[in-house]
A = this chain, B = another copy of it.
Amino acid sequence: MATPESGATLESVAFAAGVSRQTVSNVLNAPERVAPETRQRVEEAIQALRYRPNRSARSLRTRMSNLIGYCVQPALAGNINPVLDRFVHAVTEYAAEHGFHLLLFTAPAGSAGLDRYAELLAQRAVDGFLLTDTVVGDPRPGWLTEQGVPFVAFGRSWSGPDRGRWVDVDGAAGMTEAVEHLHALGHRRIAFIGWPEGSGVGDDRVAGYTAACLRLGLDPRVVRAEGTVDTGRALAGALLDGADPPTALVCVSDLSAYGALRALADRGLRPGPDVAVVGFDDTPAARLPGVDLTSLSQPIEQIGREVVQMLLGLLGVVELPPGPEHRLLRPTLVVRASSRPAGSAPAAPTEAR
C-alpha cells in the first residue's frame, strides 16, 4: 500500500466527492452551510484521501499563521528552568487543542532583542507572542502594545504603565503562607533571605513576608544578596552566627534555600527540628532525599492554560474570557522535612520520583 497520495488538495477532494472546492472548504470551516447529505459525502472523500488543509495556503489567505512566538532564554544555568519546561509543555498542549503551535526563537535581552520580534511580525510568521521572564524595565510589553501586537505575559509588567494582559504567581501570598505556616509551628524569629532590591519578583516576595510578619506581630528581618547557593549560604551563616539568631529562614528561591541548608549543615544544625527553611519554586532537587526542602510550588499547568486562553482570546479564536486583564494565581506550599519539627511524619510517603 503506497503512501495515500501525500498531496491531496481541496480540488482533488472536491472532484472525488463530486462537488466544488468551496463546498469542501465549507464542510471544514462552516459545516452548517452544507446539506447533511453532501457533507457526509465530502467527509468520506476527505477520509479516503487523508486530506489536511495546507497550512501555508490557508495562512496566506487568512493572514493568520496559527503560530505563537515564544522566546527561549539563554538557559540560566539550572535556575528556573524546570518551571519553564513544564510551562512550555502545558502551553504547547493547550494551544494544540485550537490548532495553534509554538514557534521558538532566541533574542538578546532588553531592547536589543526587539528586532527579532519585529522580524517575525514583518514576515507574518506569528500571530502573537507569549512572554516569560518579564523583568523591571522590560521594553517588550510597551513596545508590543504600541505596535498593536497581541501578546500575553507569564509575569506582570513590573514597571511603568501596566500594559497588556498577564498571568502571574502571587509571590507575596505564597510568602505570607510560608510565614503563617512557620508561625503555626511556633516559630517567632523568622528571617528572610532575599535578592537585592529592584527585581520585581524579589520585591513582591519580600513584601508578602513583611506584611505577614507585621500582621502576626513579628519583627521582619530581611537580608539580601544575589540569589546563588553560595550567597544564600553566606547570608544564612551570618544570621545564625549573629545575635538573636532566627529559628526559621524564608528564602526568596530554592537556590538561596539550598545555600541556607548548607549553612545549617556547616554548623551541625538539623533543618526542621533546629532551624526551619522554606524555599520557592519547588525545583526538582527540593524533593531529593537529604534535601527535603519545604517550598512553594507554582501552578504551572494552570498558568499555561490561562495564558493560552487569553492569547487566543485576543486573536479572536476563542471567546475572550470576561475576567480582568490580569490573573494572579496562588502558589501552594509543599511541606517537607526542612520545616517539620522533630519526630513528626518520620518517613514521608514516597513522593513520586
Contact = CB atoms under 8 A, between A and B. Distances in A.
Contact of A288 (B3, B53, B122, B258): B258
A59 interface: yes
A54 interface: yes
Interface string A71-105: 01111011101101110110011001000011111
Given A81-B82, A285-B285, A258 B290 contact: yes
Given A78-B82, A262-B289, A60 B52 contact: no
Interface stretch (A22-30, A228-236, A314-322): A228-236
Q: Please indicate which of the listed interface residues A70, A96, A290 has the most CB atoms of chain B within 10 Å of its own CB.
A: A290
Given A75-B89, A101-B104, 10 more contacts: A6-B122, A52-B119, A54-B124, A56-B57, A72-B92, A78-B283, A89-B106, A92-B104, A101-B105, A262-B290
| Pairs A-B, 8 closest by C-beta atoms | A78-B284, A52-B122, A56-B59, A285-B285, A56-B60, A102-B104, A55-B123, A262-B290
Given A229-B288, A230-B350, A284-B78, A105 B89 contact: no
Given A52-B123, A230-B289, A284-B81, A67 B103 contact: yes
Given A92-B104, A289-B233, A75 B85 contact: yes
A147 interface: yes
Contacts of A77: 284, 352-353
8 contacts: A3-B147, A6-B121, A54-B60, A55-B65, A72-B89, A81-B85, A101-B105, A229-B288
Contacts of A55: 65, 123-125
A294 to B, nearest CB: 17
Interface string A99-133: 00111111000000000000101111100000000
A72 B88 contact: yes
Interface in A24-56: 50-56
A93 B96 CA distance: 24
Contacts of A147: 3
Contacts of A82: 75, 78, 81-82
A315 B50 CA distance: 24
Nearest to A92: B104
Contacts of A285: 78, 284-285, 288
For the complex formed by this chain, how many copies does it contain in all? 2
A322 to B, nearest CB: 29
Contacts of A70: 104
Contact of A104 (B65, B104, B121): B104
A265 interface: yes
A256 B207 CA distance: 39
Contact of A106 (B74, B92, B106, B229): B92
A303 to B, nearest CB: 14
A43 to B, nearest CB: 16
A297 to B, nearest CB: 12
A261 interface: yes
Contacts of A67: 103
A259 interface: yes
B290 A261 contact: yes
Interface in A262-302: 262, 265, 283-285, 287-290
A147 B88 CA distance: 29
A147 B78 CA distance: 38
